[in-house]
Chains A and B, each alone.
Chain A
Amino acid sequence: MRLLVVEDDAEAAAYLAKGLRESGYVVDHADNGMDGLYMATNETYDAIVLDRMLPRLDGLAVVETLRKAGKQTPVLILSALGEVDARVQGLRAGGDDYLAKPYAFSELLARLEALLRRGEGPTQQTRMQVGDLELDLLGRHVTRAGKTITLQPREFRLLEYLMRHAGQVVTRTMLLENVWDYHFDPQTNVIDVHVSRLRQKIDKDFDTALIHTIRGAGYCLRESD
């Protein structure tokens, strides 16, 4: 997997590149918008991590130009502007996800994974399966090892999201944003409680756990450890 990091802060870029390389990515770096745009248009990347405030060409302009040129490379926008409005602007310009600085590296990694996997597999799935857990989107029906599991509507959406990202780390913030449409951090770890409730229904009566807690990052739904 090849990534392009467009970030003008040399130190931040170095840390980011180091972290991403250690996670198994090949990383190119541009320190301004013009070079970033040039590289993004002329090379093939699997995803682009783009700072919003860049010298020479603003991050939003980079995404817009890229999209106009027909390049559909997934873009994760990084920004010091954490306002919901700024986020909406970023997504409207053509960004695929938006992360406010300062961010946890695990958060960035999880979101990047989600972006990279998005292209895979049919998006119009009606059934999803992880191990012996099955989810029927049309019938709103969940079974594990053939046993029906009754879920509340929100629990169903939570499980659906986890299953869509099966095998990937999903952070609490990602769950809040995508399952609840909340764009702020509640003071109490409400997500943990929701996940543990879901766990009660999905994992409790079975030998192997499917929902795993990833320390310092979030959760992961997968067949085995």
Chain B
Amino acid sequence: MVLGLVYWTTAALIDQQTVTAINTEMAGLRDIYRRGGVNALIAAIDNRVSGYQGYHHLYLLAPQEGGAPLVGNLRQWPGVPPDRNGWMRFTVEGEGDRQGQLWPAQARLVHLSDGLRLLVGRDMTERTGFAQIMEQSLAFALATSLVLGVIGGIVMSRNLLRRIDAVNRTAQTILEGDLSGRVPVSGAGDEFDRLAINLNSMLDRMQKLISAMREVSDNIAHDLRSPLNRMRSRLEITLVGKPDLAEYQRSLEGALEDTDAILHTFNALLSIARIEGRHATESFEAVDLAEVVACTVELYEPVAEERGQTLVYTPPYADHPPTVLGDRHLLSQAAANLVDNAIKYTPEGGHISVFVNVALGTVRLVVADDGPGIPEHFRGAVLNRFVRLEQSRHTAGTGLGLSLVSAVAELHAARLELKDNDPGLRVELHFPERAAPPAQAEAAQ
């Protein structure tokens, strides 16, 4: 393209120069003719032909109709007809050191007043040479770029194919059952990397969901096998013995209790799995956490009192409501589980304090007790789902309370921290604060 343009403009320039040079020369000669007549013209042409200019310039002065040339370095009148302005292009047979060569020329024909015609021209070898050079380089450039393009294309497409192949291989790995496969990220930060990163985060999410599902089924199997087994033996023993009606009744009531316990665990596991599989922001609303927690504390207050514990709730400053974006039911369930745990694991006469505060865009819910707490080396593990479940399974309850809190925290982009209350356990939930929402203004109206 560029070469073509250079060729075209340069050729045009040379042509322009040629025309100008011929016109200038023509004007000079006509001037001489006007002043000195034919003889002066002949002398001038003769002079030029024999001089340096004769090499590049062509001159021919001849009578109008077919007469022999009077003077000039062209042997004969060119066989091509001139155009309207007297311009003509033709080839000249070389003389002297250019013997035998045919070279291109351009010339202009002017009719003089004495029935003479004057031709002034220029050797166009240079221009043609230039054109040839240009054509050659153009061809060369074309060829080179073609070759480079093909090679580049091959390299590019091989690179492209290689990277697509990497994606394919990862997909294949996953299809074969290894969910840990990930698309390699080259680090170039290009579209492919973005694709890889997106695919990988998609895979992460899927793997998480699948492993959550797997965990749930493992847990169901583990958690439900023992009560089912208990129920089975209870029923079996009743049948094997020689029971009276009261015995039957007791057995059935026991079986019913077992079933309820199983269902309770089952529901707890299911709801944790559902929370973990849920999309955040789905049915989320602005929730006043203080209100939720106050309600929970109110619900549990008599329970604590019955166990001789003190349950104290400290609300945040009234002028700054701790608003979080979330699901009210899940938040109150999480709060309930934390308070429930605190009451359950704190001995009689213990103190449980609950407070909600807002600071630096974080809404904090703290439930602290002075019970036995959780040993530090278990604290990290307790947040890890599997270990936590295994650990708490041997204590009272379904042991899924904290799992649910953890799932709710994750859904709400909240941080769950277990700390030493010295003595006791201090559970903190750090929610991102929802900045003064328009929904509140609407509610106020």
Query: In the bound complex, do residue B283 and residue A180 qualify as a contact, i.e. CB atoms below 8 Å apart?
Result: no
The digit string for A71-113, where 1 denotes a CB below 8 A from any CB of B, is 0000000000011110000000000000000101000000000
The smallest C-beta distance from A40 to any residue of chain B, in angstroms, reads 30
Instruction: Say what secondary structure dominates the interface of chain A.
Output: loop
Query: In the bound complex, do residue A188 and residue B271 qualify as a contact, i.e. CB atoms below 8 Å apart?
Result: no
Residues from chain B with a CB closer than 8 A to the CB of A85 are: 283
The smallest C-beta distance from A187 to any residue of chain B, in angstroms, reads 5
* Alpha-carbon distance A185/B267, docked complex (angstroms): 9
* Alpha-carbon distance A31/B266, docked complex (angstroms): 27
A184: Cβ under 8 A from any B Cβ:
yes
- Partner of A184 from the list B298, B306, B329 (CB cut-off 8 Å) is B329
Residues from chain B with a CB closer than 8 A to the CB of A180 are: 295, 299
- Partner of B337 from the list A82, A154, A187 (CB cut-off 8 Å) is A187
Residues from chain A with a CB closer than 8 A to the CB of B333 are: 182, 184
Query: In the bound complex, do residue A188 and residue B270 qualify as a contact, i.e. CB atoms below 8 Å apart?
Result: no
Query: In the bound complex, do residue A154 and residue B303 qualify as a contact, i.e. CB atoms below 8 Å apart?
Result: no
* Alpha-carbon distance A165/B427, docked complex (angstroms): 40
Query: In the bound complex, do residue B264 and residue A188 qualify as a contact, i.e. CB atoms below 8 Å apart?
Result: no
Which of A180, A190, A194 gathers most chain B CB within 10 Å? A190
The smallest C-beta distance from A68 to any residue of chain B, in angstroms, reads 26
Query: In the bound complex, do residue B332 and residue A190 qualify as a contact, i.e. CB atoms below 8 Å apart?
Result: no
* Alpha-carbon distance A150/B340, docked complex (angstroms): 28
A186: Cβ under 8 A from any B Cβ:
yes
* Alpha-carbon distance A188/B303, docked complex (angstroms): 9
The smallest C-beta distance from B257 to any residue of chain A, in angstroms, reads 9
Question: Which residue of the partner chain B has the closest CB to A198?
Answer: B302
Query: In the bound complex, do residue B274 and residue A83 qualify as a contact, i.e. CB atoms below 8 Å apart?
Result: yes
Which of A82, A85, A188 gathers most chain B CB within 10 Å? A188
A197: Cβ under 8 A from any B Cβ:
yes
Known contacts: A187-B397, A187-B401, A216-B253. The answer to whether A84 contacts B264 by CB under 8 A is no
Question: Which residue of the partner chain A has the closest CB to B344?
Answer: A188
Query: In the bound complex, do residue B329 and residue A193 qualify as a contact, i.e. CB atoms below 8 Å apart?
Result: no
* Alpha-carbon distance A183/B306, docked complex (angstroms): 24
B183: Cβ under 8 A from any A Cβ:
no
* Alpha-carbon distance A21/B278, docked complex (angstroms): 40
Query: In the bound complex, do residue A182 and residue B274 qualify as a contact, i.e. CB atoms below 8 Å apart?
Result: no
Could you tell me how many residues of chain A have their Cβ less than 8 Å away from some Cβ of chain B? 20
The smallest C-beta distance from A131 to any residue of chain B, in angstroms, reads 25
- Chain B interface size band reads 20 to 34
Query: In the bound complex, do residue B267 and residue A190 qualify as a contact, i.e. CB atoms below 8 Å apart?
Result: no
Known contacts: A188-B303, A194-B302. The answer to whether A216 contacts B256 by CB under 8 A is yes
- Partner of A82 from the list B253, B264, B267 (CB cut-off 8 Å) is B267
Query: In the bound complex, do residue A186 and residue B302 qualify as a contact, i.e. CB atoms below 8 Å apart?
Result: no
* Alpha-carbon distance A82/B274, docked complex (angstroms): 10
The digit string for B381-399, where 1 denotes a CB below 8 A from any CB of A, is 0000000000000000110
Query: In the bound complex, do residue B329 and residue A190 qualify as a contact, i.e. CB atoms below 8 Å apart?
Result: no
* Alpha-carbon distance A70/B196, docked complex (angstroms): 56
Query: In the bound complex, do residue B274 and residue A188 qualify as a contact, i.e. CB atoms below 8 Å apart?
Result: no
- Partner of A188 from the list B260, B263, B327, B343 (CB cut-off 8 Å) is B343
B58: Cβ under 8 A from any A Cβ:
no
Residues from chain B with a CB closer than 8 A to the CB of A187 are: 337, 340, 344, 397-398, 401
B407: Cβ under 8 A from any A Cβ:
no
* Alpha-carbon distance A183/B330, docked complex (angstroms): 9
- Partner of B336 from the list A186, A194, A216 (CB cut-off 8 Å) is A186
* Alpha-carbon distance A183/B344, docked complex (angstroms): 21
Residues from chain B with a CB closer than 8 A to the CB of A154 are: 298
* Alpha-carbon distance A18/B210, docked complex (angstroms): 40
Residues from chain B with a CB closer than 8 A to the CB of A102 are: 263, 266
B300: Cβ under 8 A from any A Cβ:
yes
Residues from chain A with a CB closer than 8 A to the CB of B253 are: 216
Query: In the bound complex, do residue A193 and residue B302 qualify as a contact, i.e. CB atoms below 8 Å apart?
Result: yes
Query: In the bound complex, do residue B303 and residue A190 qualify as a contact, i.e. CB atoms below 8 Å apart?
Result: yes
Query: In the bound complex, do residue B299 and residue A82 qualify as a contact, i.e. CB atoms below 8 Å apart?
Result: no
* Alpha-carbon distance A175/B283, docked complex (angstroms): 25
Residues from chain B with a CB closer than 8 A to the CB of A190 are: 299-300, 302-303
Residues from chain B with a CB closer than 8 A to the CB of A194 are: 299, 302
Question: Which residue of the partner chain A has the closest CB to B256?
Answer: A216
Residues from chain B with a CB closer than 8 A to the CB of A182 are: 299, 329, 332-333, 336
Question: CB within 8 Å of A: which of B226-279?
Answer: 253, 256, 260, 263-264, 266-267, 270-271, 274
Residues from chain B with a CB closer than 8 A to the CB of A186 are: 299, 336, 340
The smallest C-beta distance from A85 to any residue of chain B, in angstroms, reads 6
* Alpha-carbon distance A154/B266, docked complex (angstroms): 31
Query: In the bound complex, do residue B340 and residue A84 qualify as a contact, i.e. CB atoms below 8 Å apart?
Result: no
Residues from chain B with a CB closer than 8 A to the CB of A104 are: 260
* Alpha-carbon distance A146/B340, docked complex (angstroms): 38
Q: List 7 A-B contacts (CB under 8 A).
A: A82-B271, A154-B298, A183-B329, A186-B299, A187-B337, A187-B397, A194-B302
Given contacts A186-B336, A216-B253, 5 further A-B contacts (CB under 8 A): A83-B274, A85-B283, A188-B343, A190-B299, A216-B256
